[in-house]
Amino acid sequence: GIAGKNGGSNGPLLCGKQTTFEGGMREPGIAWWPGTIKPGIITPQVGTTMDILVTAVGLAGLQLPSDRIYDGIDLFPVLTGKVESIERPVWYYRGNELFAVRVGQYKAHLWTWSHEHYNFCPGEYVKDVTTPDQVNRTSNPIVFNLDNDPGEKYTIVSGARYKEAMALYHSLFTGTQGNYGQR
């Protein structure tokens, strides 16, 4: 979408900055290191700023202190083409509130909100998703399949795909995939 006169285009992605929709969070990444990172590698890997610390410490040949949990991962194996991607959840916070979680191809929105005073989704409307009011959906999250729908236009609210996504989502909080989501 277009972010007004002073913004750019995020293409097919929903909304823009100040939201936890893909148009406000997703950015392309480019890495260059002649002799180490091969040119032309394209990966579906999702990276976050939390990965910078973990990756930099690994590149320096150091170890992170083991007395805490890190949300980041070492992206070096992906950057060098040793692996295509590293599966892990991505947490979408707005302030201190967990708004959404991405696991694999699925993204579950626990809260939806575009903004009450300024439209961060100009010209974009998805029923029950782009709301001016903050809406709590934690008991019945809205799910999108980002592989098929990166623009978050078509909600998955029931059926086998919804059950699959919710099983992945719930496993994050039951300890079957680690200590994720703890703040």
Q: What is the pLDDT along the chain (183 residues), one digit of tens a residue?
A: 444 555 667 778 887 777 888 887 877 888 999 999 999 888 888 898 889 999 999 999 999 999 998 889 999 999 999 999 898 898 888 888 888 999 888 999 988 876 555 666 767 778 778 877 788 888 889 999 999 999 899 999 889 999 988 888 888 876 544 444 443
The pTM (predicted TM-score) of the whole model is 0.80
Which amino acid is located at 164 in the chain?
E
What's the confidence (pLDDT) of residue 17?
76
Give the SS3 label for residue 50: helix
As given in the structure block, the two tokens for residue 124 are: 């974009």
pLDDT in tens, 55-108: 999 999 999 999 998 889 999 999 999 999 898 898 888 888 888 999 888 999
Q: How far apart are CA 33 and CA 49, in angstroms?
A: 19
What's the confidence (pLDDT) of residue 22?
85
What's the confidence (pLDDT) of residue 181?
45
What's the confidence (pLDDT) of residue 83?
92
What's the confidence (pLDDT) of residue 117?
58
Nearest-10 Cα torsion for 86, 92, 98, 104? -40
What's the confidence (pLDDT) of residue 121?
72
What's the confidence (pLDDT) of residue 20?
83
Give the SS3 label for residue 145: strand
* Burial of residue 25, with CB atoms counted within 10 A of its CB: 0-12 exposed, 13-18 middle, 19 or more buried: buried
Main-chain dihedrals φ then ψ at residue 60, nearest 5 degrees: -80, -5
Q: How far apart are the first and last CA of the chain?
A: 32
